[in-house]
Structure formats: C-alpha cells, structure tokens
Amino acid sequence: MFELTLQAVFSGLLSGAFYALIALGLALVFGTMKVINLAHGELILLAAYVAYTLESVAGWSPLASLPVALVVVGICAAGVYFLISRIKRDRELNSLILTFGLAIIITNGILMIWSADVRSTGGDWAHGAFVLGDSLFAMNAELLAAGVSVVLVVLLYLWLNHSWYGRAIRAVSSSSEAAKLMGVNPRQLELLSFIIAGVLATFAGVALYSAQTIAPELGHNLTITAFIITVLAGMGSISEVLVGGLLIGVIEALTVTYFSSSLRELSGFVLFLAVLLVLPSGLSGLKMKTRKAGPTGVSPGSSEKPARQKQLQHD
Amino acid sequence: MLQLENISVEFGGVRALHDVTLTANTGETLGLVGPNGAGKTTLFNVISGVVKPSGGRMMFKGHAVSGAQHTRARLGIGRTFQVPQPLHELTVRENLIVAQRFGSGRPADPTRIDLVLEAVNLTKRQHADAATELTLTERKALEVAKALATEPKLLMLDEVFAGLETHGKRLFMESLVRIRNQFHLTMIVIEHDIETIRSLCDRVAVLNFGELLAEGSADDVFNHPEVIRSYTGESKT
Amino acid sequence: MTNSKMNNRILVAAVLITTYVLVPLLFGGNSYLLGVVVSAFTIAGIAVAWALLGNLGGMISFGHAAFFGIGAYTSSLLAMRFGVSPLLGLLLGGLGAVVASLAMLPVLRLRGPYFALAILAYAEIFRILAVELKSITGGAGGLLSIPGLPTVAGFDLNTKLGGYFTIVTIVAVSVLVYYLIRRSTYGLALRAMHDSENATRVLGVPATRLKALMLIVSAFITGVVGAFNAHFINFLEPNYAFAGTWTILPIVAAIFGGYRTLTGPVAGALVIYLMDQLLFKSLIPQGHQLILGGLLVAMILFAPDGLVGVLLRKVKGGGDHATT
C-alpha cells in the first residue's frame, strides 16, 4: 500500500516535471508579454516530428536531432512573433486568436506532411526501465525528461533574475515605455522571449518523442496542458510553474492508482479549478496573499480593473 | 442622516482610518479636510461601499448599512470620484440613463435626466462621448450629474474643484449651491481650499493620519492648534 | 421612419424571406446540402451565444461545448426515460445548461484567460463525467435512437427540412434576444462595465449579477442548440457532445464574421462552415481546416473587425451602427 503510493508519487513527480517543461515556454511568453501563444503545443509537436523524421530517415537518436529541431522550431517561433508584432490593437485578445489560427495551420500541416498515423521512437534506451532503490520504476526517457525540465527551470529562473537580458525582459513586461527610456528595445526582447520559448518547446518536444507516441492531434492537448499549468501557476515567477506541474502530476498519478485511469484527467481539471477558486490569480497568489488587498479593495486576480487613475489619488 | 461609529480601515498593515466617529445631519453640508494621505477618500470609500471597514459600524437614515457596493446607490448615497470616472463607450446622456435606471430604483425617467443635465449645464453636450470628448470642467460636471441621477439623499463630493481656475470654480460653486437647494441634499465635501469650505459648509471635520482631529464650525476648526500643526507639517510618528 | 431604419427593416425582411422561403425552395431537395446548412446554423447558434457572452458579458469562454453537451444530454435523457416531447426538451435542454452555468458562477470573478480556461476545465469535467456515469448517460457507448422532433401543425419536423426550419428559428430568436438586450439599459450598463466596472457599481449597477445573467443567457441558447442537435442526428456520445469542435468552430465563426456585431457570428458561421465543407474539403481532403486557420490569421492581421465589420464600414462609412 505504501509502496503503491510511493510509486504513484514518484511517477507523478516525473510526469509533473514534464508538464512543467511543456508549460515553461508558454509561461515565459505569458509572463513577459501577456500574450498567450495558443500555438505553443504545436511547436512542441513540431520538434517531436523533426526528431521522428531524423530518426526514421537518417537513424539519428532524438538527442542528436536536438540541434536541428532547435533551428526549425526557433525559426517558427520567431515567425509567430513576427506575426504577433503586426497586430495593431487589442494585442491580448487578437494574439490569442492569431496564434489559435496558427495552431490550426501547424496541426493540419503536420497532418498533411506526416499523416495521422501515430509515431514512436524505435530507440531502446529511451523505453528502458530505470529502477530507483529497488522498487521505484520509471522509463529512462521519463527520468531524463524530468531531469532536463528541472535543469531548465533553474536555468531560466537564474537567467531571468540575474542576467541583464532577463532583467530587461522583466522591465519590458511591467512598463514598456519606461524600459524604452532606459535604452531597452522592447521588440528585440519580445522576440528573444519568443525564441527562448521556442527553445524550451524544442526540448519538450524531443523529450516527448522519446517517451511516448505522437500524433497530429496531440498539439491541441499539449497547448491545453501548458495553458492549465501556466494559469495554475499564475503570472508570476517560473518556480510556480514547476510547483504547479508537480502538483498536477502527483494528484493525477494518485488518482490513477487509487481510483481509475479514466479519472486521471478529471483529477487534473478538478484540482485546477479548486486552486483557482481559492487563489484567483493562481499559485503565485500565495505570495500576494501575505500582502492584503490594496486600497481599492480589489485583489490582483479578480476581474475588476482598478482604474489606473485611482493610483493618482491622494487621501 | 449618516452616522459613522468607530470606523477603522486597515490593509497590508497600514492603518488608513482609525476609530473615526462622525455624523452628517440631514440638510447640512459637512466639510472634510486634512492633508494628503489623511484618509478622506478612504472614508468616502467606506461610506459608498468600495472598501469594507475592518471595524466599526455605519448607520444611514437610522438603519445599519453593510451591503455590497451596488446597493448603496439605492439607499440614497451618491458620490463623485476625485479623478472623474465616466462610463466608457457611452455618451453623456447614456451615462445618466444608467445612473438613473440602476441607482434610483425607479424605472427609466427621461425627465429626471433632463433636469440633471440642466442643473449641471450639460444639456448641450449630452450626446458627446463621455470618455473622450469632454473638457475637464465638463467631466467634473458629468461626475456630479451621474451621482445626482441616482436620486441621492446624501451627496459626497471628492475635490470637485481641483484643477479648475477661479472663474470656473465660482460658476461651479454657484451650480452646486443651486443643486443643493433644488434637490434638498445633505452633502459631505472634501476640499483643500479653505475659502471654498467656509462658503459651502456648515460644519467641518478634520482628518489626519486616519484619525479625526477636530470637528465643529469652520472658525473653530481652523483655529484649532492641532489642525494648524497638521497643516504646517509637524509629523506625528 | 428615418432612412436608415427603413433600410434596416428591408434588410431584415429580405434575410428572413431568403432563409425561410428561398433556401428551402432552391435546396430543399438536396439532402446533403441541407444537412450541411443545418450544421452551419448549429454552429451559428453557438457563435451567437458565445459572442453575446464575450461582447455583453465581457468574458471570453473556451468551453461552450459544456453547455452544448449538457443541453444535448438533458433533452435526450428526458425524451428517452420520461417520454418528454423533444420540442419541450429543447427548452429543458437550455435549462439544463443554465443549471450547469450556475455551477460556474464562482469562476465569474476570474480575469480573462483564467476564466476562459476555467470554463474549459468545466467542459472537460462534464465530458469525463458523461463517460463515467454510465447508468445515467449510457457511458462511452452513448445514446442511440434518440427521438426526433415531433410533428407540429401537420409539418413533420423530424426531417432535414423540418430540422432546418427549427434551427433557423432558434438562431433567429437568439439574435433577437441579443439585439434586445444590447439596446436596453442593461446593454448600456454592460457596455460601460468593460472599462469602468467600479464606476458602474457606485451608480447602483449590480455588475456581478449582470455578468452572471449574460452567462446564463449564453448557456441557455447553447443548451437549446445542443438539444436540437441531439434530436436531429438521433445519436449522442460524450466525445461528440463535448467535442472541442463545438467550442472552436463557433469562435472561429464569430471572430471571422465580426464578433462585435449582431449578425457577424451568424454570417461567419455560414461562410466558414459552408466553405470548409463544400470547398476546402474537396481541395485538401486531409487537413482542409488549414485554410480556416489561414483565414483566421489573415483576418486578424488585415480585418480585425471581421467580415461584417468590414462590410459595415464600407456601406456606412461611420454613423449609427445600432442594429447590426
């Protein structure tokens, strides 16, 4: 009984870390540009298919296909940003629809190029079993994906908080005008955010290909997963993305173990809703709760927009 | 008409209001003064339901008040915001239609709206876009008009004269006095200018650092040593 | 009557005549085409409901499939277990969706993407529940032989043509409801709430209640459409009833047609769906939706107001746009 729980938690942590990896790129762009890239899942899938192509055509292992995938997806990500930058007004809403359209294009493009058949890596190592301490099982690929995820989360966190580019990105996200005055070029930085998101998506995609089967419709599901983890984490720092992913991963795994596998998705969604109801701005709201609601009596995640003018009032 | 007892407001460890007890009698105009940051607008926020007090209670026309923000207008509490907040995407007249329809609890009444437009001198501008096509004076007039359209018994004005030059101020003042008489209003007025307070208000209350410093006639209050000290800047820690 | 009001009335009359008279006359015999048109109008109905929530309620939803599916199942189960007439079932399906929306009230206070995603979570939860609660819903196998619409005044609604008239009427009524709300004082208040919600509250507007009302109306309309669909194709299963398509296509349609306008969603649905099924599918059998995606992208970049929005600007060049 205990072993069962432990195995569930272990698998859950691994899959949760992978969820975080999927979500990372979306969260970065959402956090810095307030843009939700609904084509994010498709970019991940694209990377997976590149890995597949290189393996089936040239026998390359997924690891080896990383550089090529990085280039392909990086260019696509830049392309997505290029289109978004062309939106003249209402960027938040219009970029949503734009990327949604792009997602449809990419998914169908993948369908046309690679057909609807499911694909999976032939490599042995990826599916090989790894045993931790005698009784905890995992696939090698799962373990690697989780490890890569944690590493990337840490790197991203450090980069955002300690490098000049990282700080500039945060400056642009809070005030584009002020950032410009300090010599920062918002467009360049937004492009950089997008490309980094593309890089993150590539890692997720190659890991995806090593660990499970892929099919064109997966893009949609990946985007939803990424979106859920991102919103769950809230518009905050990167660490909540990992926490959110792990949380969902573990809850899902426990549900599968103790209830039934068909309820797996249900548990994820229910957890998602439960968290949002308590913390309307996601997990990052935990930090904000220690600072009580401001003078306007409105909390950050709620739908009221405190009039900007109010901040100019004095009592 | 309005009784505040021991009202306190606290957020994030900051005490915006502390133990404020104040009364506004029916038919009078109460002035509310104090340095910036004293808590005057917060007090308005409490009365109009924007902010929930962390302590104390409020009675309006003899009944305890504690409901959601949108119920206050129906009770008869109207207020303006320091920085005018016109309803976006609507014309001036439409602003008043919304205010009258939802704030008075009565069905749509175009006559009332015409009346209010007349009173604030906006009849000619009633079809202008409220958020983008009005001058500062007009926006302030609309702010007052919106509150009036809800048929308030108590009207709270938050620095309505700020930003107006002398002539505009005088005209506005005259309008306000007329309005006060025409609609039989009890008013609470936040103002910085002492002359305005003297000419408009029957009584004055002074706030500083969230506490009530003094209360009484304009003369009494402005000669009160504590009040003078608060304006000349000796800080209380 | 002013000139433009007269024009509007003529336009409305023309549209109604085309829909109720011309189309049946011209295409009534072509069963396949009629079926496609019915599907297009089904999408249109959801699109109107979605746009109503987005425009008046100010909330974008990614989970309208929830209301569609609940409406479908409610009506079907009532018909099959309790012999309720499917016509009444349409309304009850709408009510079922309303009940579902009440469960969503807690998430009303969430902002933009948070709300959108929360509704999606609800939709997925309902789908999974429909699969799991086998005894009630027939599980993954679904419900077969759902009763069709009855005969009304000698006219058998359980035919392609009957279904056509039914769905067209549902859509027309929905547009009417949208129009009436939009031009009432409620519509004014809702418009003001987009940017000045706090200011409206101080004036006595029960903002949260109004938003809830819009969610309920949107849910009802979508539920009725879902119920109709169930009785039209006489078959239902969870992955169909709660399919993402019922969320996605209406959104594409509404955006394409111009979601800020009254008729945009309907026009968009008809154009998009008909083009996709009749034209694109034959051009690119596998992956034809790609063109839809391309259209969406092109539209956002070059005509964000949508098809009807662009048409309006060309025809009127500014001026009052109260009725379209």
Which residues in chain B are closer than 8 Å to C196, comparing Cβ atoms? 85-88
- The mean pLDDT value of chain B amounts to 85
Would you say the C-alpha torsion A76, A82, A84, A86 has a positive or negative sign? Answer: negative
- Domain membership of residue A78 (yes or no) is yes
Give the pLDDT score at A175. 66
Retrieve residue C321's tokens.
């746009």
The β-bridge relationship of strands A136-139 and A129-132 is: antiparallel
CA B75 to CA C244: how far, in whole Å?
Answer: 46
Helix (H) or strand (E) holding C268: helix C264-274
Q: Name the 3-class secondary structure at B56.
A: strand
CA of B7 vs chain C CAs: smallest distance (Å):
20
Q: What is the pTM of this model?
A: 0.86
CB B208 within 8 A of CB B34: yes
CA of B140 vs chain A CAs: smallest distance (Å):
14
CB contact under 8 A, B87 and C200: yes
Q: Is C154 left (phi over 0), alpha (psi -120 to 50) or beta?
A: left
CB contact under 8 A, A297 and B52: yes
Retrieve residue A159's tokens.
């980069």
* pLDDT above 80 for A179: no
CB contact under 8 A, A116 and C286: yes
CB contact under 8 A, B70 and C191: no
How do residues C55-79 score in pLDDT, each as one tens digit?
A: 898 888 989 999 999 999 999 999 9
Which residues in chain A are closer than 8 Å to B36, comparing Cβ atoms? 314-315
Give the pLDDT score at A176. 66
Domain locations along chain B: 1-70+188-237
CB B45 within 8 A of CB C156: no
* CA nearest to C206 within chain B: B70
Q: Is C295 on the interface with A (CB under 8 A)?
A: yes
Question: Total structural domains in chain A?
Answer: 1
Q: In this structure, what is the dihedral angle of CA atoms A237, A238, A243, A248, given to the nearest 10 degrees?
A: 110
User: What residues of chain C have any CB closer than 8 angstroms to a CB in chain B?
Assistant: 185, 188-189, 191-192, 194-196, 198-207
* CA nearest to A233 within chain C: C114
Which is more confidently placed, C288 or C174?
Answer: C174
Name the one residue in this structure whose structure tokens are 């301490």: A133
CB contact under 8 A, C202 and B90: no
Retrieve residue C71's tokens.
């409406």
Instruction: With CA atoms as reference, report the closest residue to B143 among C210, C167, A309.
Output: A309
Q: Which domain holds residue A237?
A: 12-246
Amino acid at C128: I
- The mean pLDDT value of chain A amounts to 81
Q: Which of C203, C210, C260 to mutate to test the interface with B (most CBs of B within 10 A)?
A: C203
Q: What is the 3-state secondary structure (H, E, C) of chain A?
A: CHHHHHHHHHHHHHHHHHHHHHHHHHHHHHHHHCCCCCCHHHHHHHHHHHHHHHHHHHCCCHHHHHHHHHHHHHHHHHHHHHHHHCCCCCHHHHHHHHHHHHHHHHHHHHHHHHCCCCECCCCHHHHCEEEECCCEEEEHHHHHHHHHHHHHHHHHHHHHHHCHHHHHHHHHHHCHHHHHHCCCCHHHHHHHHHHHHHHHHHHHHHHHHHHCCECCCHHHHHHHHHHHHHHHHCCCCCHHHHHHHHHHHHHHHHHHHHCCHHHHHHHHHHHHHHHHHHCCCCCCHHHHHCCCCCCCCCCCCECCCCCHHHHHCCC
Q: Which of B80, B81, B88 to mutate to test the interface with C (most CBs of C within 10 A)?
A: B88
Give the pLDDT score at C268. 92
CB A102 within 8 A of CB C293: yes
Q: Which domain holds residue C94?
A: 40-244
Which residue among B36, B50, B83 places its CB closest to the CB of A315?
B36
CB A188 within 8 A of CB A169: no
Which residues in chain B are closer than 8 Å to A314, comparing Cβ atoms? 36-37, 41
Instruction: With CA atoms as reference, report the closest residue to A246 among A7, A9, A4, A28.
Output: A9
CA A211 to CA A120: how far, in whole Å?
Answer: 8
CB contact under 8 A, A297 and B82: no
Q: Is C49 left (phi over 0), alpha (psi -120 to 50) or beta?
A: alpha
- Domain membership of residue C26 (yes or no) is no
Q: Is C289 on the interface with A (CB under 8 A)?
A: yes
Q: Is C121 on the interface with A (CB under 8 A)?
A: yes
CB contact under 8 A, A315 and B82: no
DSSP state of C228: H
- The mean pLDDT value of chain C amounts to 88
> Who's near B139: CB < 8 A, 6+ residues apart?
B84, B86
Give the pLDDT score at A313. 35
Q: For the purposes of burial, counting CB atoms within 10 Å of the CB of B237, is it exposed (0-12), middle (13-18) or buried (19 or more)?
A: exposed
* pLDDT above 70 for C191: yes
How do residues C160-182 score in pLDDT, each as one tens digit?
A: 888 899 999 999 999 999 999 99
- Domain membership of residue A260 (yes or no) is no
Instruction: With CA atoms as reference, report the closest residue to A194 among A105, A66, A84.
Output: A84
Q: Name the 3-class secondary structure at B24.
A: strand
**Mean of the pLDDT values across residues A284-290?**
64
- Domain membership of residue A140 (yes or no) is yes
* pLDDT above 50 for A309: no
Q: Which of A74-78, A89-93, A194-198, A211-215 has the lowest mean pLDDT?
A: A89-93
Q: Which of B98, B109, B148 to mutate to test the interface with C (most CBs of C within 10 A)?
A: B98
DSSP state of B211: E
* pLDDT above 50 for A314: no
Give the pLDDT score at C316. 67
Give the pLDDT score at B234. 53
CA end-to-end span of chain A, whole Å?
61
CA of B62 vs chain A CAs: smallest distance (Å):
26
CA of C192 vs chain B CAs: smallest distance (Å):
5
Which residue among C111, C113, C118 places its CB closest to the CB of A273?
C118
- Domain membership of residue C125 (yes or no) is yes
* pLDDT above 90 for C101: yes
Instruction: With CA atoms as reference, report the closest residue to B86 among C214, C202, A90.
Output: C202
Give the pLDDT score at B138. 87
- Domain membership of residue A175 (yes or no) is yes
Helix (H) or strand (E) holding B72: helix B69-75
Which chains touch C (3+ CB pairs under 8 A)? Answer: A, B
User: What residues of chain B have any CB closer than 8 angstroms to a CB in chain A?
Assistant: 11-13, 16, 34, 36-42, 45, 50-52, 81-83, 85
CA of A268 vs chain C CAs: smallest distance (Å):
9
Give me the phi and psi of A151, to 5 degrees please. Answer: -60, -45
**Mean of the pLDDT values across residues A122-137?**
72
**Mean of the pLDDT values across residues A287-296?**
45
The β-bridge relationship of strands B203-208 and B29-33 is: parallel
Would you say the C-alpha torsion C124, C128, C131, C135 has a positive or negative sign? Answer: negative
How do residues C202-223 score in pLDDT, each as one tens digit?
A: 898 999 999 999 999 999 999 9
How do residues C26-39 score in pLDDT, each as one tens digit?
A: 877 888 888 999 99
* pLDDT above 70 for A295: no
CA of B205 vs chain A CAs: smallest distance (Å):
14
Q: Is A104 on the interface with C (CB under 8 A)?
A: yes
Give the pLDDT score at A33. 82
- Domain membership of residue C12 (yes or no) is no
Which residues in chain C are closer than 8 Å to B104, comparing Cβ atoms? 204
Q: Is A296 on the interface with C (CB under 8 A)?
A: yes
Q: Is C117 on the interface with A (CB under 8 A)?
A: yes
- Domain membership of residue A217 (yes or no) is yes
Q: Which of A298-312, B177-191, C130-144 has the lowest mean pLDDT?
A: A298-312
- Domain membership of residue C267 (yes or no) is no
How do residues B177-212 score in pLDDT, each as one tens digit?
A: 888 888 888 999 998 888 888 888 888 888 888 888
CA A28 to CA A173: how far, in whole Å?
Answer: 11
Using alpha carbons, list the distances in angstroms from residue C6 to C9, C10, C12. Answer: 5, 6, 10
Give the pLDDT score at A311. 33
**Mean of the pLDDT values across residues A239-261?**
88
| Chains A–C, number of C-beta pairs less than 8 Å apart | 137
How do residues A23-53 score in pLDDT, each as one tens digit?
A: 999 988 888 888 889 999 999 999 999 988 8
- CATH architecture, range B1-70+188-237: 3-Layer(aba) Sandwich (3.40)
CA C16 to CA C180: how far, in whole Å?
Answer: 18
String of b and e for C253-272 (b: at least 16 CB within 10 Å)?
bbbbbbbbbbbbbbbbbbbb
pLDDT band at B172 (very low <50, low <70, confident <90, very high): confident
Give the pLDDT score at A299. 36
Which is more confidently placed, A136 or B148?
Answer: B148
Which residues in chain A are closer than 8 Å to C295, comparing Cβ atoms? 101
pLDDT band at A288 (very low <50, low <70, confident <90, very high): low
Beta bridge partners of C249: none
